[in-house]
Structure 1
Amino acid sequence: MRFQTQLVPARLIRRYKRFLADCRFEDGREVTAHCANPGSMMGLADPGTKIWLEPNEDPRKKLRYGWRLVDHENGHFTGVDTALPNRALRTALEAREIAELSAYDTVRPEVKYGTNSRVDFLLAAPGLPDAYVEVKSVTLCREPGLAEFPDSVTARGTKHLAELAKVAAAGHRAVLVYLVQRTDCGRFAVAADIDPAYAAACAAARVAGVETLCIGTDISPTSITLARRLDVVDPHGTGPFAASALHSG
């Protein structure tokens, strides 16, 4: 999917209050941009980092710029907008581009399920069990080539895993999609040292029948698109436990 307006390069001055970022354009002008990422953004928010901002003219928005990308200045990018993976995956699901889910012809976003939860997507098709799909945006990289999730303790993510496990036990399909918004990673692992409870919930969910898919992205200052498969390894990086690929047909 293409960005709605042309991105503008800048340098990060500081990120604060989670959703705000002071930035400096190449001409010296300074602005405050919206940071659509509630996570720790470990390794992505150092002062002086080259970033890309998306301008907007929406009078309903208080801030005229949104922080979209980190430019690692080595040909690689990271997408920092945590809302983008859902939009990109919805487009791919509706186009039946995800091989494991291509048989489903109905895609419903934000459907209530479990205990005060909403699943990102509920997929349906005649003769098939419903598929409950949760999406997680992955931006953390502490070891070259290895993407990790989460980048901070996530009680919400742990709850989602428990809900998916119940869905699987009830005879439906439960699918957790890790969408890696980095172009410099070819593997993925759960960051068990950051959130042991989440890692334990992942293990329990796999036993319960929850499927794990991991999809990489191609990123540039003009667009972000779903791309290659990423190998998924165990939390210690010693072996594969699942993987996914885009439908090639």
Structure 2
Amino acid sequence: MQFSSSLQPARLIHRYKRFLADVTVQGNTLTLHCPNTGKMTGCAEPDSLIYFSTSNNAKRKYAHTWELTKTAAGDFICVNTARANELAAEALAGGDIPEFAGYHQIQPEVRYGQEGSRIDFLLSAGSKPDCYIEVKSVTLLEGQDRGYFPDTVSVRAQKHVRELIACRQAGYRAAILFCVLHTGIERVSPATHLDPDYAALLSRAVAAGVECLAWQAEISPRGMRLVRPLPFTL
């Protein structure tokens, strides 16, 4: 995917109220929309170099959206969690992920399950069982190269794992696609130290046949795409 407009650089002052961030651009202060509900550990350090997009929608209160952070080590992080689904949609449509090849119908945001969920993608094919795919954005880097999900306790993510277990028990394929949106991450694991309930549920899910795949994104201010699988370990 290419960004629809050129991203502009800025320096982060601070993030606040979860959805807002103040930055400096050529000596001026600008307030951005921050499309990320997580803790953003390592993604929002004051004075970080960040990149933002600008919308031409006159109805928006905040026209600018924080998209990327560049770390002191030179790694890019996509902090806009909505981009993970866009990257997954592009990769699925292009047949770029071999494990999901051969499905001719890709439906986003389909209602399913007993807990009122929407699956990110439902894949269908005449000769295969339907495949339910939940997409997760991974940006938390700890240690030299280990990525973790989630970056804090996530009741919503726990619900999604339960729903996928139920899909498997009903005879469908079920998978979690961890989109790694931090170029410094080389392997992915559940964050047992941050959300032990999620990690325990994920272990149950894998035992039930839920597939867990991690794919890393190539990221720059021009655009992004999923380019390679990474090891995933419980």
Q: TM-score, normalised by structure 1?
A: 0.92
Distance of 2:73 and 2:6 partners within structure 1: 21
Instruction: Give the 3-state SS of the residue equivalent to 1:21 in structure 2.
Output: strand
- Residues 1:137 and 2:134 are matched in the alignment: no
Within a 5 Å distance, the mapping from 1:192-207 to structure 2 comes to 192-207=192-207
Alpha-carbon distance, 1:75 to partner: 3.3
Alpha-carbon distance, 1:62 to partner: 1.0
Distance of 1:76 and 1:103 partners within structure 2: 34
Q: Which residue of 1 aligns with 2:110?
A: 111
Worse overlay, 69-78 or 85-94? 69-78
Deviation >6 Å, runs of 4+: none
Within a 5 Å distance, the mapping from 1:1-249 to structure 2 comes to 1-25=1-25, 27-114=26-113, 115-234=115-234
* Deviations, residues 149-171 of structure 1 (Å, cap 9, x unaligned): 11010000001000000000111
Distance of 1:146 and 1:207 partners within structure 2: 23
Gaps of 5+ in 2: none
Alpha-carbon distance, 1:60 to partner: 2.0
Distance of 1:124 and 1:64 partners within structure 2: 37
One-letter amino acid matched to 2:116 = N
One-letter amino acid matched to 1:153 = V
One-letter amino acid matched to 2:81 = T
Distance of 2:231 and 2:203 partners within structure 1: 17
* Deviations, residues 12-31 of structure 1 (Å, cap 9, x unaligned): 11101111000111x10111
One-letter amino acid matched to 2:161 = L
One-letter amino acid matched to 2:11 = R
Give the length in aligned residue pairs: 233
Q: Which residue of 2 aligns with 1:243?
A: none
Alpha-carbon distance, 1:73 to partner: 4.2
Distance of 1:174 and 1:60 partners within structure 2: 39
Worse overlay, 225-234 or 36-45? 225-234
One-letter amino acid matched to 1:200 = A
Distance of 2:94 and 2:169 partners within structure 1: 28
Instruction: Give the 3-state SS of the residue equivalent to 1:135 in structure 2.
Output: strand
What is the percent sequence identity of the aligned residues?
A: 42
Instruction: Give the 3-state SS of the residue equivalent to 2:84 in structure 1.
Output: helix
Distance of 1:162 and 1:74 partners within structure 2: 37
Distance of 1:62 and 1:83 partners within structure 2: 19
Distance of 1:24 and 1:233 partners within structure 2: 40
* Deviations, residues 22-61 of structure 1 (Å, cap 9, x unaligned): 0111x10111000100000011112111111111221121
One-letter amino acid matched to 1:86 = N
Instruction: Give the 3-state SS of the residue equivalent to 1:110 in structure 2.
Output: strand
Q: TM-score, normalised by structure 2?
A: 0.97
One-letter amino acid matched to 1:199 = A
Alpha-carbon distance, 1:74 to partner: 3.6
Worse overlay, 65-74 or 174-183? 65-74
Distance of 1:169 and 1:139 partners within structure 2: 31
Distance of 2:223 and 2:72 partners within structure 1: 17
Distance of 1:70 and 1:160 partners within structure 2: 28
Instruction: Give the 3-state SS of the residue equivalent to 1:232 in structure 2.
Output: coil
